[in-house]
């Protein structure tokens, strides 16, 4: 569509109203003013067109030109995404710095999302030949984008036809054509990159029920409130509850083929810290720098607010693209509240009827649209591929109050909740995921998988853990009133075990490399040891041994140290625990019998 011109009628912060635009389309990209600031049409009221501008609008003047492009706001998808740090409009930030020679983000800068000069080694798929019929999603070839990621070159969605020409294996830039497909009516050139509108979910063949857990390396998630591949989860928490540390950790250690971190309206220094750690840290499973499987979108809190929405949607689009290649993708969005606030600001400037606390009435549907992009799917095309996009969204409730609109509406669309608790954080219990408030509706879906890797015991153990913790919460209420001494001995023991679960199992240090990532095996080992201690001690208590005697035993303290060692050493410790515990119990029984 050719470009059409209009003029600015009004400017109010990130909102610009234009008039005189011929047949405007909703969500069409427009260039505003002489500098060509990027904006998007978000409402059309009669002659007036409302534009959300993604860059600072200061200095714009009434009457300046507005150019409608006919395009939707789109992402460039192709090799070169991995390892890049983008802003909310998919401009690579390091390139912006090089281009402007400045440490600040200037407005109106146009930079290509994917490097136009870099050559990629394209390996044509063996089965793909001239004259062959292909349709959307078919893999034509691949590119080793990083040592741990093979980038698949796919027929773009909506394209179906006969291969008229296909490039030989060799070096190509993202703009070069690698195949020509004749659809009968037209000839489509397939390049090394595709363009896809960020507001539109990418198509797939079929959505599947989740069945496998996405291992995060966090025991409280993996073994208590598991998340499935293709799942959607929210992490609400007040400030200082360790939200960002947890989210970065998930991005770092999660068993994902591709991890996407969207820093949306958050701190620049933390982003810098995360970038540094991703360059320096190695993926435990593949022994390569984590940057080789990660994409960053950094739209910090001081960058234009309207771009917060695009940064979240851009993340989802890139995630779906890798999902379509058959990968398990993890998307972390920190924080969805800042995006919601941006919606509130724009809505207020448009003088829309406000909903709760000034948020627009469509807040809920926008959140739903975002979280619904998660899922495990069979991708379009051949060869058949299953991929998933798992979404973790953080929520920053004002005052840590979960009854506010963003948290409440988010809860309607997610399947797993990891509620961060302020009290746990002040007690330095990290991750501060509250076991009383959190839940996962994926437990039943992934039960079979986790039982299988744990000798059939996981489900039972998990429920027992939760029961103990629930009972502890009730007992602590009593203790607060009358002190611990009046409790029956069995309850005193339960408090000891609950402490063991909290300190030896649930707590995990982000700064101890042995503990930051915990394998399922190691987590399960700790579960096993704690319950072994509990069951044996319960027998002792029932046969009249007072709890303070059990507290004096040395071997149970070994359990607290399992987490600090790699798996094989933890196994040795476990064996040492069993041996010495058995001995100590025998001595104790002998002792009491002798009295």
Partner 1 sequence: MENRLYTRITRQVYSARGSLVFVKSIPGISYGELVELDVDGEVRLGQVVDVSQDVTIIQIFGSSLGITPGKTAIRVRGERLSIPVSVDMLGRVFNGLAQPLDGGPPVVPEEYADIHGEPLNPALREPPSEFIETGVSVIDAMFTLVRGQKLPIFSGSGLPHNKIAMQIVRQARVRGKEESFAVVFGAVGVTFEEAMYFLDELRKMGAIDRTAAFLAPAASPTVEKLALPRTALTVAEYLAWKQGMHVLVILTDMTNYCESLREISAAREEVPGRRGYPGYMYTDLATMYERAGRVQGRRGSVTIMPILTMPDDDITHPIPDLTGYITEGQIVLSRDLWRKGVYPPVDVFLSLSRMMKEGIGPGKTREDHSAVFGQIYRAYAEGQRLREIIAIVGTESLTDRDRKYLEFTDAFETKFINQSEYERRSIERTLDLAWELLSILPEEELAIREELIKKYHPKYRS
**Residue placing its CB nearer to partner 1 in the complex, 491 or 510:** 510
| β-pairing verdict for 258-264 and 328-334 | parallel
Quote the least distance from Cβ 461 to partner 1, whole Å: 27
CB of 62 to partner 1, least distance (A): 5
- Following DSSP, what letter does each residue of 114-129 receive, concatenated? S-SS--EEEEE-TT--
The CB-of-92 to partner 1 minimum distance in angstroms stands at 8
Q: How far is CA 138 from CA 156, 157, 184, 382, 384, in A?
A: 8, 9, 18, 5, 9
Contacts of 459 (CB under 8 A, 6+ apart): 443, 447, 450, 451
Q: Which is nearer to partner 1, 129 or 427 (CB)?
A: 427
How many residues are present in the chain? 595
Q: What is the nearest approach in angstroms of partner 1 to the Cβ of residue 313? A: 19
C-beta of 124 vs 492, nearer to partner 1: 492
**Residues 346, 365: Cα–Cα separation, whole Å:** 16
Q: Are 82 and 146 in contact (CB under 8 A)?
A: yes
Q: Give the closest residue to 301 by CA, choosing from 235, 396, 405.
A: 396
Q: Which of residues 102 and 490 has its CB atom nearest to partner 1 in the complex?
A: 102
Whether residue 89 contacts residue 38, with contact meaning beta carbons closer than 8 Å, is answered with yes
For 430-446, the DSSP string reads: SS-B-TTT-EETTHHHH
Which token pair is 213?
A: 């857990």
Q: Residue 390 in 3-state DSSP? A: strand
Cβ atoms of residues 430 and 245 within 8 Å:
yes
Longest dimension (CA), the chain: 99
Q: How far apart are CA 190 and CA 178, in angstroms?
A: 6
Q: Nearer to partner 1 by C-beta: 39 or 400? A: 400
Residue among 360 and 381 whose Cβ is closer to partner 1: 360
* Contact between residue 332 and residue 262 where contact means Cβ atoms under 8 Å apart: yes
Nearer to partner 1, 101 or 590 (CB): 101
- Under 8 Å between Cβ of 496 and 562: no
Phi, psi dihedral angles at 476 (to 5 degrees): -65, -30
d(CA 234, CA 392): 6
Q: Are 547 and 492 in contact (CB under 8 A)?
A: yes
Please state the closest distance from residue 502 (CB atom) to partner 1, in A. Answer: 14
Cβ count within 10 A of residue 516: 17
The H or E element containing residue 540 is helix 520-542
The residue (of 212 and 345) whose beta carbon lies closer to partner 1 is: 345
Residue 70 or 348: the one with the smaller Cβ distance to partner 1 is 348
Nearest distance from residue 102's CB to partner 1, in Å? 8
As measured in angstroms, the least distance from the Cβ of 34 to partner 1 is 11
CA distance 152 to 398: 43
Strands (E), 288-407: 294-299, 328-334, 375-378, 386-395
Locate the DSSP E strands across 342-477. Answer: 375-378, 386-395, 416-417, 439-440
Contact 340, 406 (CB under 8 A): yes
Between the CA atoms of 461, 248, 395 and 430, what dihedral angle is there, to the nearest 10 degrees?
50
CB of 37 to partner 1, least distance (A): 11
Nearer to partner 1, 93 or 309 (CB): 93
Nearer CB in complex with partner 1: 261/392: 261
Closer CB to partner 1, residue 179 or residue 553? 553
Residue 237 Cβ vs partner 1, minimum distance, rounded to whole Å: 10
* Least separation in angstroms between CB 346 and partner 1: 10
Instruction: Give the residue with the Cβ less far from partner 1, 26 or 476.
Output: 476
**What distance in Å separates the CA atoms of residue 559 and residue 531, rounded to the nearest whole number?**
11
Closest listed residue to residue 258, CA positions, set 334, 153, 201, 328: 328
**Which chain residues interact with partner 1 by CB under 8 A?**
9-12, 17, 56-63, 85, 93-94, 96-97, 102-106, 238-240, 263, 265, 267-273, 275-276, 298, 300-303, 305, 338, 341-342, 344-345, 348, 354, 357-358, 396, 398-401, 426-428, 480-483, 485, 511
Q: In angstroms, what is the minimal distance from the CB of 421 to partner 1? A: 14
Instruction: Give me the least distance between CB of 453 and partner 1, in Å please.
Output: 32
| Cα–Cα distance for residue pair 234/334, rounded to 1 Å | 10
The distance of closest approach from Cβ of residue 9 to partner 1 in the complex, given in angstroms and rounded to an integer, is 5
Closer to partner 1 by CB, 26 or 272: give it. 272
CB of 339 to partner 1, least distance (A): 12
């Amino acid at each position: 569509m050719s470009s059409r011109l209009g003029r600015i009628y009004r400017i109010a912060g990130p909102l610009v109203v234009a008039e005189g635009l011929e047949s405007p389309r909703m969500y069409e990209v427009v260039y505003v003013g002489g500098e060509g600031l990027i904006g998007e049409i978000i409402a059309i009221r009669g002659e007036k067109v409302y534009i959300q501008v993604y860059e600072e609008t200061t200095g714009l003047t009434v009457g300046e030109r507005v150019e409608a492009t006919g395009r939707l706001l789109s992402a460039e998808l192709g090799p070169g995404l991995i390892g890049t740090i983008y802003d909310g409009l998919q401009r690579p930030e390091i390139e912006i710095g090089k281009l402007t020679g400045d440490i600040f983000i200037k407005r109106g800068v146009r930079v290509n999302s994917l490097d136009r000069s870099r050559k990629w080694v394209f390996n044509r798929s063996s089965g793909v030949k001239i004259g062959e019929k292909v349709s959307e999603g078919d893999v034509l070839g691949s590119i080793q984008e990083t040592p741990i990621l093979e980038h698949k070159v796919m027929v773009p969605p909506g394209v179906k036809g006969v291969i008229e020409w296909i490039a030989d294996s060799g070096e190509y830039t993202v703009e070069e054509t690698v195949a020509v497909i004749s659809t009968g009516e037209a000839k489509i050139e397939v390049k090394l990159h595709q363009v896809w509108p960020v507001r539109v979910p990418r198509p797939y063949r079929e959505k599947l029920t989740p069945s496998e857990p996405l291992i995060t390396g966090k025991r409280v998630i993996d073994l208590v409130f598991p998340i499935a591949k293709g799942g959607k989860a929210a992490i609400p928490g007040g400030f200082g509850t360790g939200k960002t540390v947890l989210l970065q950790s998930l991005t770092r250690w999660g068993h994902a083929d591709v991890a996407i971190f969207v820093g949306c309206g958050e701190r620049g220094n933390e982003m810098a810290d995360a970038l540094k750690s991703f360059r320096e840290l190695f993926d435990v499973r593949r022994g390569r720098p984590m940057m080789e499987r990660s994409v960053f979108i950094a739209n910090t809190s001081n960058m234009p607010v309207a771009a917060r929405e695009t940064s979240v949607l851009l993340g989802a689009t890139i995630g779906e693209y890798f999902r379509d290649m058959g990968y398990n993708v993890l998307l972390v969005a920190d924080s969805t509240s800042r995006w919601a606030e941006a919606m509130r600001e724009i809505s207020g400037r448009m003088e829309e009827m406000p909903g709760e606390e000034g948020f627009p009435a469509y807040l809920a549907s926008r959140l739903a649209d975002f979280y619904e992009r998660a899922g495990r799917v069979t991708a379009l095309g051949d060869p058949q591929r299953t991929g998933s996009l798992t979404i973790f969204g953080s929520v920053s409730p004002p005052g840590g109050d979960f009854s506010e609109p963003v948290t409440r509406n988010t809860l309607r669309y997610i399947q797993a909740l990891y509620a961060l608790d302020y009290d746990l954080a002040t007690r330095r219990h990290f991750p501060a995921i509250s076991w009383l408030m959190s839940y996962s509706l994926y437990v039943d879906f992934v039960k079979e998988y986790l039982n299988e890797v744990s000798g059939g015991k996981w489900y039972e153990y998990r429920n027992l853990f939760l029961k103990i913790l629930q009972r502890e919460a009730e007992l602590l209420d009593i203790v607060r009133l009358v002190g611990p001494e009046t409790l029956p001995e069995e309850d005193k023991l339960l408090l000891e075990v609950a402490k063991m679960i909290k300190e030896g199992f649930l707590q995990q240090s982000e700064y101890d490399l042995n503990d930051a990532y915990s394998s399922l095996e190691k987590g399960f080992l700790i579960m096993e040891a704690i319950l072994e201690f509990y069951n044996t001690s319960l027998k002792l208590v029932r046969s009249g041994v007072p709890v303070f005697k059990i507290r004096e035993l040395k071997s149970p303290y070994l359990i607290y140290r399992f987490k600090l060692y790699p798996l094989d050493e933890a196994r040795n410790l476990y064996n040492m625990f069993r041996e010495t515990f058995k001995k100590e119990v025998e001595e104790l029984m002998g002792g009491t019998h002798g009295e």
